[in-house]
């Protein structure tokens, strides 16, 4: 019996995964001028958000169907810019009824997608599934994930870049403190704080390496 349930679940997940993959290739064409990028930034971002949201749903008791569907589809209309949460929600409302996704949960998926806008919030969200998607989406923009996703995106753009500029851009991250403070769920806030610390340490360590700070003897051993 449980096997049947798993199979059914896989069907709608497969359908939305396929739709999202198509959308990432359209975005790659617009962003990098190719449908075959070395690093598919949007795909990497979305799959990371799906994984984090799934885990966060387990930790918080949020509905896993709603959270997973919303995570897959949250950036599906990214090309529409600041309207992409609204447009993504519209897409979910029209696409999910064509699948075996539980119809009574569709509006909650759309709501979570609509709510995911912004890198920080003045007022916290109210629905648990919206909170989980918001937190997972922002967690994927902090820490080492952000460093590697950012570097992949930069290299794909095939424009001149220096390590010095990467460090400068990496340090230009004041918004991340506000993002951490805006996290809704306890596990995400905790993880975000640690990730931000590691992220800041990484730029410090990299700069120290480049300047050979580790070549100097410790003060106590110097004559
Ligand atoms: Fe988004
Ligand atoms: Fe996103």
The pLDDT tens digits of the residues spanning 69-126 come to: 999 999 999 999 999 999 999 999 999 999 999 999 999 999 999 999 999 999 999 9
Mean pLDDT of 126-142: 97
| CA-wise closest residue to 176 among 149, 209, 143, 222 | 143
pLDDT tens digit sequence for 18-68:
999 999 999 999 988 899 888 999 999 999 999 999 999 999 999 999 999
Tell the burial category of 59 from Cβ atoms under 10 Å away from its Cβ (0-12, 13-18, 19+).
Answer: middle
Q: How confident is the model at residue 7 (pLDDT cuts 50, 70, 90)?
A: low
The conformation of residue 116, written as its DSSP 8-state character, comes to T
- For residue 48, the CA-to-ligand 2 centroid distance in Å is 9
Phi and psi, residue 103, nearest 5°: -60, -35
Collect residues with CB below 5 Å from ion ligand 1: 75
Q: Does residue 159 surpass a pLDDT of 90?
A: no
Handedness of CA 148, 149, 153, 154 (dihedral sign): negative
Query: What is the C-alpha to C-alpha distance for residues 206 and 202, in angstroms, rounded to an integer?
Result: 6
- For residue 78, the CA-to-ligand 1 centroid distance in Å is 7
Q: Does residue 166 surpass a pLDDT of 60?
A: yes
- For residue 74, the CA-to-ligand 2 centroid distance in Å is 6
- How far is the CA of 88 from the CAs of 78, 98, 143, 167, in angstroms? 8, 16, 26, 33
- For residue 45, the CA-to-ligand 1 centroid distance in Å is 10
The CATH superfamily holding the domain 11-214 is Hypothetical protein af1432 (1.10.3210.10)
Query: What is the C-alpha to C-alpha distance for residues 139 and 91, in angstroms, rounded to an integer?
Result: 24
Mean pLDDT of the chain: 92
- How far is the CA of 219 from the CAs of 131, 133, 208, 209, in angstroms? 49, 48, 16, 18
Q: How confident is the model at residue 155 (pLDDT cuts 50, 70, 90)?
A: confident
- For residue 215, the CA-to-ligand 2 centroid distance in Å is 41
Query: What is the C-alpha to C-alpha distance for residues 207 and 214, in angstroms, rounded to an integer?
Result: 11
């Amino acid at each position: 019996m449980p096997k049947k349930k798993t199979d059914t679940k896989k069907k709608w997940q497969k359908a939305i995964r396929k739709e999202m993959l198509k959308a990432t290739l359209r975005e790659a064409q617009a962003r990098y001028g190719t449908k075959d990028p070395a690093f598919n930034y949007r795909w990497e971002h979305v799959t990371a958000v799906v994984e984090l949201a799934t885990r966060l749903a387990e930790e918080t008791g949020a509905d896993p169907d709603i959270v997973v569907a919303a995570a897959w589809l949250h950036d599906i209309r990214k090309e529409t810019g600041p309207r992409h949460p609204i447009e993504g929600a519209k897409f979910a409302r029209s696409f999910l009824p064509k699948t075996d996704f539980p119809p009574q949960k569709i509006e909650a998926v759309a709501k979570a997608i609509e709510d995911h806008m912004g890198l920080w919030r003045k007022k916290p969200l109210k629905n648990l599934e919206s909170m989980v998607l918001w937190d997972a989406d922002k967690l994927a923009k902090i820490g080492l994930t952000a460093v590697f996703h950012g570097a992949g995106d930069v290299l794909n753009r095939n424009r001149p870049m220096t390590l010095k500029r990467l460090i400068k851009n990496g340090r230009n991250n004041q918004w991340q403190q506000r993002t951490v403070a805006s996290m809704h769920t306890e596990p995400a806030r905790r993880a975000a704080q640690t990730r931000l610390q590691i992220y800041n340490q990484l730029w410090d360590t990299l700069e120290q390496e480049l300047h050979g700070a580790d070549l100097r003897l410790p003060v106590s051993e110097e004559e």
